[in-house]
Amino acid sequence: METNIQTTAQRSMERSGRRSKPSVAVFLAVWVLLIACGVLGTIWYAGQLKERLTKEISAQTSQQITAMQKDYETQLKQMQTHFNGELDQVQSKVDALNELLEFTKDNTNSKTDNSNKLFTQLSDVQKKLEELQKNMDVLK
């Protein structure tokens, strides 16, 4: 009987040895599968996160660009109003000098040399007027 018990014990050990090998293989396969699922899940989540962040940054950028455009347009309108006011002032000065020049030209005689001074002043004002017009053109 002892031999029977020994052979039975040996058989059960052999069987358990056989069972342990497949269970180790199954265990390793499950771990590899779990690791692969974790890696794939991480890649998928990173892609989703990247896409969401890209959309958010794009929306913020477009909002900032819109705000900057509105601010720029407001500043441009203010500058145009300011330069138009200055341009009108300079134009009125030029007109007044032209009238004065015409009057002086009509009343000058050979002894007075005031007309040259007025022409010089008029040319200075004309240069300033042209400079302001160039600035307005640049702003537009």
Confidence of residue 71 (pLDDT cuts 50, 70, 90): very high
Residue 12 has pLDDT above 70, yes or no: no
How far lies 61's CA from each of 18, 49, 58, 68, 72, in Å? 64, 18, 5, 10, 16
Residues 6+ apart with CB under 8 A from 98: 122
The residue among 88 and 16 whose pLDDT is bigger is 88
What's the pLDDT score for residue 104? 72
Residue 53 has pLDDT above 90, yes or no: yes
DSSP codes of every residue in the chain: -HHHHHHHHHHHHHHHHHHHHHHHHHHHHHHHHHHHHHHHHHHHHHHHHHHHHHHHHHHHHHHHHHHHHHHHHHHHHHHHHHHHHHHHHHHHHHHHHHHHHHHHHHH--TT--HHHHHHHHHHHHHHHHHHHHHHHHHH-
Rounded-to-integer distance, Cα 19 and Cα 12, Å: 10
Residue 2 has pLDDT above 80, yes or no: no
Confidence of residue 90 (pLDDT cuts 50, 70, 90): confident
Predicted TM-score of the model (pTM)? 0.43
What's the pLDDT score for residue 111? 54
What's the pLDDT score for residue 92? 85
Alpha carbons within 13 angstroms on the beta-carbon side of residue 84 total 7
